[in-house]
Amino acid sequence: MLYLKIRKLSDHVPLIIEIGIGEINTDTNIWSIKKDSEEEKEFIFLLVQGIQNLDTSAIRSQMNLETLVQQLASIFEDAWSTHSKQKRIIKHSKE
């Protein structure tokens, strides 16, 4: 439904739009790390340690750069998969 109300003394025309979702299944799964948790501290530690151990002195060609970027991506992927947990979000979940 779309409601439109025009105010005569204002230069604003507010719109109110209602979108009915009904009984559609809105469940979804996400991966996350709880803020300020031990998992978050360990995740950050692994990232910092992995980045510090990267050898950036060998970046002399595009191939070397691509290899370094792939190593960086692996550091993030390994840390994330180790410390993140899957959560199911449903319509009754907390915000």
pLDDT the model gives residue 91: 72
What is the rounded CA–CA span in Å between residue 95 and residue 90?
10
pLDDT in tens, the chain (95 residues): 454 555 566 666 667 777 776 666 667 888 999 999 999 999 999 999 999 999 998 889 999 999 999 999 999 999 999 999 998 887 766 76
Sign of CA dihedral 32, 34, 36, 39: negative
Tell me the whole-structure pTM to 2 decimals: 0.63
The structure tokens 């003394």 sit at 9
Closest CA to 78 of 42, 52, 34, 36: 42
